[in-house]
A and B are shown apart, each in its own frame.
Chain A
Amino acid sequence: MPLFLNEEQSMLRDTARDFIGDAAPPSHLRGLRDANDPTGFSRDLWKQFAELGFTGILIPEAQGGLGLGHVEAGVVLEEIGRNLSPSPFLSTAVAAVAALSDTPHAANVFPGIVSGDTVAALAIDEGPKHRDHIALRAERAGNGFRLSGTKRFVTHGHIADLILVAARTAGAPGEQAGLTLFLLDRDRAGLSADAHRLADAGLAADLVFDGVEVDADAVVGEVDAGAVPLARLLAAGRTGAAAELLGVGAGAMDRTVGYLKERRQFGQPIGSFQALQHRAAHLYSEMEVARAAVLKAQQLLDAGDAAADEAVSVAKAMSGLAATLAVQEGIQMHGGIGMTDEYDIGFFMKRARVLAEFFGDANYHADRLAVASGY
């Protein structure tokens, strides 16, 4: 498979670019923020995503979806990133769908995702950094389990219809064995959500599980073997976040290069200054390399290739590094206007920071790659 988009994928990209650019450009995010909107995204927009089929992009056709892959999901995510559109697409249509695929839950949950009625949240992290350190306990109780502990940085956690929770049914924090993944609805006794607004104007919740009771059929996959669906969730989520980061970086870079051509100082466009040309060209190079890494991970995931896991870490880390550079150079090369709230470039910096942290930052993934490579 060549490492560039095929014709259908390019067409999907054009559709997504037109639609998202129209329906949810940065001004949409700005509007939500200015209104101090309590949801964090637009339910209306989510419905429109459903009408276009986007919400079912990874869901098999037999279950009402488009039956496409991570490359296609990434195409949509890149446009979401480019436009800074707040959306539960990554958590719901990508990560949750990957976790639930080929499990009995799919039949119950996928129709709601396809129709744009369901939003899912991912309750994975327990500290301020993404780590393989799951301590939240799930003790056997009657016919089911009782969950106690706290999760952090759960985007849409306060309004999601469904929550995927990684819990420990055995073993010690840090171990892969003894994990169990649960799927529950939000309206549960003992579950409270405390949402915080983040730097990028999105909302993420701390979820406190105070003896939350679930039935045995809330288990996704096998008890004590939650690492399996969790790995699917994380691989899809990381790759998706990488694609979105790519979009954020590309959006920032495009604006910056445009500004270099337009802004004049010393009687000439600032883009004619070699110091800036070289930095822009360097940024372009980093972004292209990141783009290749992300597509590689998507293709390997779609092919079910054993090399996918390492490629996913490369993609997440590299897109984080490139997008971080893009937003930093973006603000600097815009000069004073780049620091104003009125100008959009600052929004790119904030979103890149959030996404860089989501599912593990570049250092986390570099360490993960090192461990996988035996050093």
Chain B
Amino acid sequence: MSDLATFRAETRAWLEENCPPEMREPVRSDADICWGGRRFQPSSPAQKDWLDRMAARGWTVPDWPRAYGGGGLSPAEAKILREEMRTLGARSPLYSFGISMLGPALLEYGTEEQKLDHLPKIARGEIRWCQGYSEPNAGSDLASLATWAEDAGDHYVVSGQKVWTSYADKADWIFCLVRTAKESKQGGISFVLFDMASPGVSTRPILLISGYSPFCETFFDGVKVPKANRVHHENKGWDVAKYLLGHEREMISGMGLGARGETALIDGALKAIGRDEAGRLADPLLRGQIALFDIRARAFAAMSERFMDELKAGQAHPAQPSMMKYYGTELNKARHELVMAAGGSAALEWESERSHGGAKPRAWLRTKANSIEGGTSEIQLNIIAKRILDLPGA
């Protein structure tokens, strides 16, 4: 057997033995997700076991170096691990902005000290991070942000307001864009990290259309941030911000991939609608819509595989995450429209036991944010047009 075939066999065996059956079921709701952090309360012993076992192997971040809590896997091995997890239907052991966003940025731009300090805690799910980018007057036009960081020698004093800060009220630390110079829009931004328990930080949750309240207004009133917490050079934070956004987009694009093909959608439709005499979904128009969606979803799964392969080989166009984000999120919205259509009135129940606390309609409503968060679809199309197709600026 080749090394990779051996690795695959061992990985499969290990997952079979170590992934609890409950962790092989799709995530039902927000409450079901393991986010880690200081205040993390596992929803079940299985969830805790799964996180601990995966973290012990470095498999929450399989391709990070071992020195930083990772698994040290090669790209080919990491791909095998992903495939085997998908085959088993295994949940991700840990959802984390630290893994998908801050980690890659620290690996690229952090000092050795910063890496050793933060990365292992991210890998083990000990510290939960939030993202302080958007402000009331800086959304799509992110570089116009105004939160001010006053130079006070060995530290900054940060004041201002962020908005749409997901889970700011539950996070332990924040990675945050602040203005350190007023003369230049993009060239006056710095990237800093600080503890949300610092004096002067306050948050206020905002209720969403899903009935959940996962994001916040975040206020900074003279927050003291040591300069050692700045990543990369002063006024060069925009480089870090953009690099991180590429990874955020990549992560969000993955939402366009059904956990296990489209089986959940199809099973749901069959259950709600039934079959005709020929054994087909008894609503021919809906069946056709699902089938055409299935074509796109599978084609996008191939695209995701290609994108990962190209990324690992250093062959992907740097703006390709925009395409992935655009396509994946539009697809995910389309999927949830079909889930709702297939479920009919049964998919509408908001608080009932039968509906698992409104899992379907809440998930449907949540997906509407996919094409807004991390940069809207329109912004992604702008980027593709300018940076990939090289179309002229207006």
Contacts and interface: CB of A to CB of B under 8 A. Distances in A.
Contacts, number: 147
Interface in B336-394: 378, 380-382, 384-386, 388-394
Contact of A3 (B287, B295, B306): B306
Contacts of B378: 278
A281 B21 CA distance: 42
Interface stretch (A52-60, A93-101, A103-111, A365-373): A365-373
Interface residues of A, number: 46
A4 B291 contact: no
A370 B303 contact: no
Interface in A256-308: 257, 260-261, 268-269, 271-274, 277-278, 280-282, 284-285, 288-293, 295-296
B266 interface: yes
A310 B297 CA distance: 13
A281 B302 contact: no
Interface string B302-340: 110111011011010000000100110000000000000
B295 A318 contact: yes
A289 B393 contact: no
B327 A257 contact: no
A260 to B, nearest CB: 6
A310 B120 CA distance: 42
Given A277-B382, A280-B385, A366-B292, A289 B327 contact: yes
B269 interface: yes
A375 B295 contact: no
B211 interface: no
Given A4-B310, A271-B391, A370 B302 contact: no
A314 interface: yes
A257 B315 contact: no
A374 B270 CA distance: 10
Contacts of B298: 293, 310-311, 314, 369
Contacts of B310: 2-4
The residue in B295, B300, B323, B386 that gathers the most chain A C-beta atoms within 10 A of its C-beta is B295
B290 to A, nearest CB: 7
A363 B327 contact: no
B280 interface: yes
Given A257-B389, A292-B306, A314-B299, A272 B290 contact: no
B287 A375 contact: yes
Contacts of B394: 268, 272-274
Interface string A314-333: 11011001000000000000
A185 B280 CA distance: 41
Interface residues of B, number: 47
Nearest to A370: B291
Given A4-B309, A281-B381, A375-B280, A289 B296 contact: yes
Contact of B389 (A273, A280, A292, A374): A280
Interface in B159-207: none
A260 B327 CA distance: 23
Nearest to A363: B288
A251 B303 CA distance: 20
Contacts of B266: 373-375
Contacts of A277: 381-382, 385-386, 389, 391
B295 A314 contact: yes
A369 B299 contact: no
Contacts of B326: 281-282, 285
Contacts of A257: 389, 391
User: Chain A interface mostly helix, strand, loop or mixed?
Assistant: helix
B294 A370 contact: yes
Nearest to A320: B295
B80 interface: no
Shortest beta-carbon contacts, A-B, top 5? A277-B385, A293-B299, A366-B291, A281-B384, A2-B309
Given A289-B299, A362-B295, A375-B270, A278 B381 contact: yes
Interface in B247-300: 261-262, 266, 269-270, 275, 279-281, 287-288, 290-292, 294-296, 298-300
Given A318-B299, A369-B291, A282 B392 contact: no
Interface string B63-87: 0000000000000000000000000
Contacts of B386: 277
Interface in A237-257: 257
A375 B290 contact: yes
Given A278-B385, A295-B306, A367-B288, 11 more contacts: A2-B309, A272-B391, A273-B394, A278-B378, A281-B326, A281-B381, A281-B384, A289-B303, A314-B302, A366-B291, A375-B287
Nearest to B275: A375
A369 B390 CA distance: 37
The residue in A285, A317, A362, A371 that gathers the most chain B C-beta atoms within 10 A of its C-beta is A285
A208 B280 CA distance: 35
